[in-house]
A and B are shown apart, each in its own frame.
Chain A
Amino acid sequence: MSFNIEEGRYVILGSIDGLLATLGIILGVSVVSASNSIVVSAGFGGAIALALTNGLGSYLAESTIEHGKLLKTEKSLLRKLDNTYVESQSKKRIVKDALTHGGASFLASLVPLAPWILGVGSAFVSVVLSLITLVVLGVYSGYISRQNYIMSVAKMVGLGTLIIITVELLRIVHLVS
């Protein structure tokens, strides 16, 4: 499977989604219960739901876009493109994008979940691992966009930190009340 810039979009989208949404679930659930199994169950449920919704969402959105593009080309060519290489490539792109988006989301979800799956059971470790992954994603994003790596990493980590702070604030509000 060749990888191009188009798929890079879904790798970044899916990874950020999976990473931060699952981290949010973990931070939220760990306030209520410190039990490893409960955090893992909640996080895993969230990870699967996210992977499915991201994958299906991409499938539906890409199907619409690709179908529209195909129709436009058919109009220009004054012919149907059913059962041609063009149509098969279009279908392949739809499946590839859906799998990339859903797969990236699921794999990234495993990062904050890893300490809980391995029995370490620490929200702090989940946060640190997530931030490290955001650094890697930032480097990847900088590589794809051919932009400044430091800026790219700063944007990615800044966004992650903002979300973590928001979730932590909600956690503190919950603890106080």
Chain B
Amino acid sequence: MSQIRRLVLDVLKPHEPTNVEVASAIGDLQDVDGVNLSLYEVDQQTENVKITVEGTNVNYSLVLQTIENLGGVVHSVDEIIAGKKIVEEDETLHDRG
């Protein structure tokens, strides 16, 4: 199994803990170099966030466990980059049209 370099997750979470606390908790995980947490929807009880995690060897299970322990639910894994180098999504002919 190759190493996961980047994970993009769509997460539904309660207002507490705050987004700062969630980002900080994920950032504290081993082999995580950086975290980006963007808020894109706020509801009465919950908020939808997009969490991007980058690192040399991101442990998906640990990230998932941390999010669940903080009361969040991973709705979908929107992007995964694994392997020796980071490969960005390439534009196809269909995208250009």
Closest Cβ of chain A to B62, distance in Å, is 15
A174 at the interface (CB under 8 A from B): no
Of the 9-residue stretches A4-12, A30-38, A74-82, A106-114, which lies at the interface with chain B? A74-82
Interface size class of A (residues with CB under 8 A): 10 to 19
- Judging by beta carbons under 8 Å apart, are A85 and B70 in contact? yes
Q: Is the CB of B71 within 8 A of A77?
A: yes
| A72 B70 Cβ-Cβ under 8 A | no
A75 vs B68: C-alpha distance when bound (angstroms): 15
Give the interface residue-count category, chain B: 10 to 19
Known: A85-B70, A89-B17. 19 other contacts (CB 8 A): A72-B45, A73-B45, A73-B46, A76-B12, A76-B43, A76-B44, A76-B45, A76-B46, A77-B13, A77-B14, A77-B45, A77-B73, A79-B73, A81-B14, A81-B71, A84-B68, A85-B17, A86-B14, A86-B16
22 cross-chain CB contacts under 8 A: A73-B45, A73-B46, A73-B71, A76-B43, A76-B44, A76-B46, A77-B12, A77-B13, A77-B14, A77-B45, A77-B72, A78-B73, A79-B73, A81-B71, A84-B71, A85-B17, A85-B69, A85-B70, A85-B71, A86-B14, A86-B71, A89-B16
- CB-based nearest B residue for A85: B70
Q: Give the residue name and chain of the B residue nearest to A78 (CB).
A: B73
CA distance A77 to B14 in the complex (A): 8
Residues of A within 8 A of B (CB): 72-73, 75-79, 81, 84-86, 89
B interface, CB within 8 angstroms of A: 12-14, 16-17, 43-46, 68-73
Q: Which of A73, A75, A79, A86 is in CB contact (< 8 Å) with B70?
A: A86
Select from chain A the residue with minimum beta-carbon distance to B12.
A77
Distance A86 CA – B70 CA, assembled complex (angstroms): 6
Classify the interface of chain A: helix, strand, loop or mixed.
helix
- Minimum CB–CB distance for A46 against chain B, Å: 38
Of chain A, the residue at the smallest CB distance from B70 is A85
Contacts of A78 in B (CB 8 A): 73
Q: A84 to B70, alpha carbons, bound, how many Å?
A: 6
Residues on A with beta carbons closer than 8 Å to the beta carbon of B72: 77
Question: A72 to chain B: which residues have CB within 8 Å?
Answer: 45
Shortest C-beta distance, A45 to chain B (Å), equals 40
Given contacts A85-B17, A86-B14, A89-B16, contact A77 B70 (CB under 8 A): no
A85 CA to B45 CA, complexed, in Å: 16
CB distance from B77 to the nearest CB of A (A): 17
- Of chain A, the residue at the smallest CB distance from B72 is A77
Those 9 A-B pairs whose CB atoms lie nearest each other, nearest first:
A86-B71, A76-B45, A76-B46, A73-B14, A84-B71, A85-B70, A73-B45, A77-B73, A84-B69
